[in-house]
Amino acid sequence: MTNVLREELELLRDLGYTHLDLTARQAAGSEPREEMNETLDDLGRIAAACTQCKLAKTRTQVVYGVGNPNADLMFVGEAPGRDEDLQGEPFVGRAGQLLTDIIKAMKLTRDQVYIANVIKCRPPENRNPEPDELDACRPFIRRQIELIKPRVIVTLGRFALQSLTGRDYSISAARGRWLEHEGVKVMPTYHPAYLLRTPAAKKDVWQDMKLVMAELGIT
C-alpha cells in the first residue's frame, strides 16, 4: 500500500471507521481473488455508511461502483445523477447508456470493465462537486483503484481527472494523451453527458478509446 493511501485510510479510521484493515497486503498479483473481492466489498460497506460531507444528508443512497473487480479497464466519472441516486449504480441514465454504447463499440461489456465516480453521492440538482466533497470521497476512489489494479483508467470529465491527478487539467487540453496515476495509465476524455450536448465531440472520444484499445491489445 502506498504511503498516500495508507495516510488516507488512517484518516478514515480516525474519523470513526474502526474496522479498516491497514495491515500490509501481499505483493500485487499474489492475493487470492476471493480475498480481494471481499476487501472491495468491505470498502463499499464503509462508503455506504459515510457521513463525512454534506451530501450524506441529501442522497438517496451511495453509488459506489459496479463491474469486474479484476478489470483491466476502469472508467471513472464525476458524480451520480438522479437515476444513479435512485438505482444505486453509476451511469444508468442517458449518459450511462451512451457510455454503455462506447464500451460495446470497444468490443467489451459493462461486466468486463469497472465503473465508478470520484463522488459517491449525488450533488443536489446535479451541481458541480465542491472541493470538500471531492476531498471526502478521494480515499474511496483511490482505494478502489488500488484493489482493482486496472491496466488503464479512463477519466470522464474535468472533475474526475482533476480529483484523481490532483492537477488543474482542462479536458480539452488533456484528452487524447496519456497521463499516469500511481503507475496506472490514465486516458482523459469527455464525459458522456457532454457528448449528449455536443455530439460533434463523439469523434474525439472515439479517437481516445482507440488509443485505449491499442494499449489493452483489443483488435
Q: What angle do CA 29, 106, 200 make, to 5 degrees?
A: 130
- pLDDT category at 12 given cuts 50, 70, 90 is low
26 pLDDT exceeds 50? no
Q: What is the pLDDT of residue 6?
A: 56
- pLDDT category at 190 given cuts 50, 70, 90 is very high
- Domains of the chain and any CATH numbers: 3-216 (3.40.470.10)
- Taking the C-alpha atoms of residue 88 and residue 75, their distance in angstroms, rounded to an integer, is 17
Residue 140 is placed in which grid cell? 474511496
49 pLDDT exceeds 90? yes
- Taking the C-alpha atoms of residue 31 and residue 86, their distance in angstroms, rounded to an integer, is 34
- Taking the C-alpha atoms of residue 40 and residue 36, their distance in angstroms, rounded to an integer, is 6
- pLDDT category at 39 given cuts 50, 70, 90 is confident
Task: Report the pLDDT averaged over residues 111-131.
Answer: 95
Strand blocks (E) in 17-101: 66-67, 73-77
Nearest to 141, CA basis, from 161, 117, 124, 159: 117
- Taking the C-alpha atoms of residue 123 and residue 26, their distance in angstroms, rounded to an integer, is 37
Residue 44 is placed in which grid cell? 463499499
The arrangement of strands across the sheet holding 114-117 comes to 66-67, 114-117, 73-77, 152-156, 184-189, 179-181
